[in-house]
């Protein structure tokens, strides 16, 4: 947990203060410095336009983390709302909602995100929407299952008996008791969102040049790997690895901390 929190704090600090930390302008072209290997002046070298790779990696963190947070928020709000209503109301709404969720689950997540982004247009806002839509089924299914296991417990039956309104039962009695697995799911979904954004940017469906993006920079620099210009891909690749590792590590730690069975066994 401590390692995950420290890494997350570093990522957030880099993303928030990238304009102050970055030693160079990430989009400024300097032909005289093109394709320089890593050195003290350029920690991760420069690309074929003379742009500092380290500065572009720092600025790219703003894109990846913002996509992760916003897309996960979209999926969380919509998916949890649908799951709460489907699990508590049941009946026709549950049947129709789960069939829509099943239809979304029938498509591979990344393929569905690519299709949605391509149809909406290659922009970062559309990538956020697409990744958020892809995240909805996971939250809806998880929330519905948790609600079904909670709604028949004695304290829920007692609340219904004394006339507590359904909305209050859902928000004040059911949701707090199912929040732990949803928090873990949100943390792990953020890692997937960062990978999905990198994949969309790699295919040209994310932020458009010259704005820095980890996936876009890897796609752009792959043509130079054959010439041993490895640093152009190594910088954003390492950044993606660290970001995904951080959220997966934190998600596993939260799961261990919030699951009482794991606490007892530990």
Q: How far apart, in whole angstroms, are the C-alpha atoms of residue 165 and residue 162?
A: 9
Over residues 207-226, the pLDDT tens digits come to 888 888 898 889 888 888 88
pLDDT band at 260 (very low <50, low <70, confident <90, very high): low
pLDDT reading at 15 higher than 60: yes
Q: How far apart, in whole angstroms, are the C-alpha atoms of residue 243 and residue 191?
A: 7
Over residues 144-185, the pLDDT tens digits come to 999 988 888 888 888 888 888 888 888 888 888 888 889 888
What number of helices (H) and strands (E) belong to the chain?
12, 0
Over residues 86-104, the pLDDT tens digits come to 998 888 898 999 999 999 8
Q: Based on the structure, what is the number of domains in the chain?
A: 1
With beta carbons less than 8 A apart as the criterion, state whether 141 and 101 touch. yes
- DSSP string computed for 22-53: -SS-TT---GGGTTPPS-SSSTT-B-TT--BH
Q: How far apart, in whole angstroms, are the C-alpha atoms of residue 195 and residue 244?
A: 7
Q: How far apart, in whole angstroms, are the C-alpha atoms of residue 219 and residue 122?
A: 15
Within a 10 A sphere around the Cβ of 119, how many other Cβ atoms? Answer: 9
Q: What is the pLDDT of residue 80?
A: 93
With beta carbons less than 8 A apart as the criterion, state whether 208 and 52 touch. no
Q: Which two tokens stand for residue 31?
A: 């032909």
Instruction: Show the domain range for 125.
Output: 2-265
Predicted structure pTM score: 0.87
pLDDT reading at 266 higher than 80: no
* CATH number of residue 188's parent domain: 1.10.3720.10
From residue 41, how far is each of 29, 67, 210, 245 by CA, in Å?
16, 30, 22, 28
pLDDT reading at 265 higher than 60: no
DSSP assignment, residue 230?
T
Query: Phi-psi region for residue 212, left (φ > 0), alpha (ψ -120 to 50) or beta?
Result: beta
The distance from CA 255 to its chain's CA centroid, rounded to whole angstroms, is 17
């Amino acid at each position: 947990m401590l390692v995950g929190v420290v890494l997350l704090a570093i990522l957030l600090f880099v993303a928030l203060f990238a304009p102050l930390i970055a030693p160079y302008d990430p989009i400024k072209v300097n032909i005289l410095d093109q394709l320089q290997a890593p050195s003290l002046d350029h920690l991760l070298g420069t690309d074929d336009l003379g742009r500092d790779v380290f500065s572009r990696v720092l600025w790219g963190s703003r894109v990846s983390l913002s996509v992760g947070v916003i897309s996960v928020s979209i999926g969380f709000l919509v998916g949890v709302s649908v799951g709460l209503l489907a699990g508590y109301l049941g009946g026709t709404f549950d049947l129709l909602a789960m069939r829509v969720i099943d239809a979304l689950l029938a498509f591979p997540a990344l393929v569905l995100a690519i299709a949605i982004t391509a149809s909406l247009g290659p922009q970062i806002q559309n990538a956020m929407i697409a990744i958020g839509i892809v995240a909805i089924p996971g939250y809806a299914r998880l929330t519905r299952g948790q609600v079904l296991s909670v709604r028949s417990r004695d304290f829920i039956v007692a609340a219904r008996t004394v006339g507590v309104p359904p909305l209050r039962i859902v928000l004040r009695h059911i949701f707090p008791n199912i929040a732990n697995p949803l928090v873990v799911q949100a943390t792990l979904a953020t890692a997937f969102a960062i990978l999905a954004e990198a994949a969309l940017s790699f295919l040209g469906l994310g932020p458009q040049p010259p704005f820095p993006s980890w996936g876009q920079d890897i796609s752009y620099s792959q043509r130079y790997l054959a010439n041993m210009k490895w640093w152009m891909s190594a910088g954003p690749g390492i950044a993606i690895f660290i970001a995904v590792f951080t959220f997966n590590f934190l998600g596993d730690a939260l799961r261990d901390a919030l699951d009482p069975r794991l606490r007892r066994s530990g």
